[in-house]
Structure 1
Amino acid sequence: MFTALAVLLVLAMTAGIAYGSVTVPPDVVWQVLFHRITALGDPSGWTLTQDAIVWDLRLPRVLLSALVGAGLAVVGVATQALVRNPLADPFLLGISSGASVGAVASIVLGVSFWGVTSHALAGVVGAMLTFGLVYLLARTWGGLAPTRLLLVGVVVGYALLGVTNYLVLQADDPGKTNSALFWLFGSLAGARWADLGVPAVALAVGIVALLARARGMNALLVGDETAAGLGVPANRLRGELFTSTSLVTGVMVALSGAIYFVGLVVPHAVRLLVGSDHRRVLPAAVLAGAGFLVLVDLLARFLLRPQEIPVGVLTSVIGAPVFLALMARRRRLSETGL
């Protein structure tokens, strides 16, 4: 299964680089990549335009799509274990709303950091501040119980959503308003090589941290008392999971905007394939989430070319019926005892 998911991811990334407003044959894509990486091969087999399209335009975008998709998927897995709710996703804990406030403020108000205006950096700062607020409120009101953490996250998220909408309405420049709205719909346009370092590090750290706690996440699914009997401190583990998921969510949302349903649909699909053991679910979610978002981003660029649809719109349109189909399949399997 893992081999199949890896092969599908490679095929999806190849298609994401090859197809768009201008098509580059897949064999030429691999020739360009091989030459760029190894300095071997004959550059006369492709044009300079094809080289620029593959290496400078599409490869960074496809890699960012894969990183964001993988990050949202593993965070979705962890969030569902964190709050013991199969309908939970990274956006329910309010972190994405904090990232949206920071990013939209930097776009609309021209907020700058060290003299450089960056909505991605502002989004990370907003996400981390929101993480601190949600964590402190949940601890103040009686600890990190699943229901309490979920309710605090939802309330804070709605409050910050109102702040975001107010900032968009107060924009005095139509260009800034359009930029903010396009970002809020979710977009991977304009990805550069310089954008890949931070999400790659955040994803690597998040995966290592979550895999190290996979056994504890398995224990959380059967209740705090059972987890304590297995030697798993539930509250401390939730604090660690909340920290890890907040970091990864903040970084991914700050770079891509609000891309819904990846963290909800992919974990359910993966569990149907590999079972519920988080030691298998987490790495499978990385591969499946990356491939899913790469394909959705390809559709976003391809359907109305040369224009493109915000990728967050497509993930919602595709994710809702897919999620319902997965739920129907899971119900049929449970009724038959499989």
Structure 2
Amino acid sequence: MTERRRWLSYVAPPAAALVLLLSVAVALGIGPVHVPVDRVVAVVLRRAGFGDFGVRLVDDQIVWQLRGPRVVGAAVVGAGLACCGAVLQTLTRNDLADPYLLGISSGAAVGAVTVIVLGVSFAGLAGSAAVTAAGFVGAMAALVAVLVLAVGRRGALSPTRTVLAGVAVAQIGAAYTSLITILRGDSDAARRVLNWTLGSVAGLRWNSTLFLGIVTILALVVFGSMATQLDAFAFGETSARSLGVAVERLRWTLMVGTALLTAALVAYVGAVGFVGLVVPHIVRAITGPGHRLLLPMSALVGAILLLWSDTLARTLVSGEEIPIGVITAVIGTPFFAWLLRRTGDGQAGVAG
């Protein structure tokens, strides 16, 4: 490890964590009714049981009840998607790999769109709960289909076959959602489908945010425990095996783990693009390819990016909310173009 990388390993994570905390405090106060940061902090401290601090009821309702779940939820979703992208780019050695590599978003869209367009209930649920449940089941069905198609005769999970199977399942799912939306001919349903496919954290409440937070933290702990083994993949499977890495077991564990986390996130907020693709590249360009630093930094930067993307989505146009996927694409594309120009021909890649 170079002196610069060693210095970054100590300084970068605490600095990014501080930026994230400040971003949360500021974002909680931004909206049609502005709440100063000191009153935001007072509301949070009061809710944490540190005293009353003279918090007004209206501030508590705005900061904690209305904005709190979506601001914290956006950070959680951003962290999860960014880490999934970092892991999958390493496993497949594919710079374009992202959390939706295994057709997860298309599978979730099949379930969600079926409920939205046809108006059916699912598992005894209705409304947004039915959309979430159907989205998760659709994502799991897509994962099973991809794994069945990708597994070789000896049970090996080839990266190339996995990517191709993911593309095939994604195309089938996209064709289904387009066909059923067109045949239904309902403009309101079409608008809801478009909003879902572009992503939104507006529907998150504290119970769903807490659930996603627990799932994401557990996944990040698992990913972090395998950081050293992921580093070995930077030099190829042969090198990883020579270093004692159980390649197939690791690939199965991480492929399924990233798919499960992505399915949970997509089921609640829809398909939020670009975060899992761009953030790992940004972090890797700064910190290098080592996963002990790459994974936590990807989580923090992804959280910051999606938090501010959501803040822009709900405040940029008065009285309207822009789909968060539009904001992440607008922010992510210039960064990606800059990275491509910076790395030059043949120099980009997960291996650093």
Name which of 48, 54, 74 aligns with 2:83.
74
**RMSD, matched Cα:** 2.0
- Counterpart of 2:136 in structure 1 is 124
Is 1:159 aligned with 2:160?
no
- Counterpart of 2:284 in structure 1 is 271
Decide whether aligned partners of structure 1 residues 222 and 333 sit closer, same or farther in structure 2, where only a CA change above 3 A counts.
Answer: closer
Question: How far 1:39 moved relative to its partner?
Answer: 5.4
1:145-171 deviations in whole A, cap 9, x for unaligned?
221111111111111111111232233
Letter in 2 for 1:17: L
**Please, which moves more after superposition, 293-302 or 202-211?**
202-211
Secondary structure of the corresponding residue to residue 293 of structure 2: helix
Is 1:109 aligned with 2:118?
yes
Name which of 147, 151, 155 aligns with 1:135.
147
Letter in 1 for 2:148: L
- Counterpart of 2:3 in structure 1 is none
Decide whether aligned partners of structure 1 residues 26 and 306 sit closer, same or farther in structure 2, where only a CA change above 3 A counts.
Answer: farther
Question: How far 1:221 moved relative to its partner?
Answer: 2.0
- Counterpart of 2:264 in structure 1 is 251
Question: How far 1:331 moved relative to its partner?
Answer: 3.4
1:240-297 deviations in whole A, cap 9, x for unaligned?
1110010011011111111111001110111122221111111111111111100111
- Counterpart of 1:56 in structure 2 is 65
Decide whether aligned partners of structure 1 residues 111 and 222 sit closer, same or farther in structure 2, where only a CA change above 3 A counts.
Answer: farther
Alignment of 1:208-227 (within 5 A): 208-227=221-240
CA distance in 1, matches of 2:184, 2:24: 37
- Counterpart of 2:49 in structure 1 is 38
Secondary structure of the corresponding residue to residue 48 of structure 2: helix
| Kept after mapping to 2: 8 A contact 1:202/1:247 | no
**Please, which moves more after superposition, 303-312 or 54-63?**
303-312
Letter in 2 for 1:10: L
| Kept after mapping to 2: 8 A contact 1:275/1:281 | yes
Identity of aligned pairs, percent?
A: 42
Give the paired residue count.
Answer: 334
Question: How far 1:173 moved relative to its partner?
Answer: 4.3
Consecutive unaligned residues of structure 2, counting only runs of 5 or more, are 1-11
Letter in 2 for 1:238: R
Question: How far 1:141 moved relative to its partner?
Answer: 6.4
- Counterpart of 2:15 in structure 1 is 4
Decide whether aligned partners of structure 1 residues 159 and 332 sit closer, same or farther in structure 2, where only a CA change above 3 A counts.
Answer: closer
| Kept after mapping to 1: 8 A contact 2:198/2:273 | no
Question: How far 1:322 moved relative to its partner?
Answer: 1.0
Is 1:206 aligned with 2:219?
yes
CA distance in 2, matches of 1:293, 1:141: 41
Is 1:27 aligned with 2:38?
yes
Alignment of 1:272-287 (within 5 A): 272-287=285-300
Question: How far 1:189 moved relative to its partner?
Answer: 1.2
Question: How far 1:172 moved relative to its partner?
Answer: 5.6
Name which of 143, 150, 155 aligns with 2:163.
150
Letter in 1 for 2:243: L
1:205-225 deviations in whole A, cap 9, x for unaligned?
211221122122111221111
Name which of 94, 105, 126 aligns with 1:96.
105
| Kept after mapping to 1: 8 A contact 2:279/2:302 | yes
Question: How far 1:22 moved relative to its partner?
Answer: 1.8
CA distance in 1, matches of 2:21, 2:212: 19
Is 1:182 aligned with 2:166?
no
Question: How far 1:144 moved relative to its partner?
Answer: 1.6
Letter in 1 for 2:41: W
CA distance in 1, matches of 2:34, 2:192: 27
| Kept after mapping to 1: 8 A contact 2:102/2:142 | no
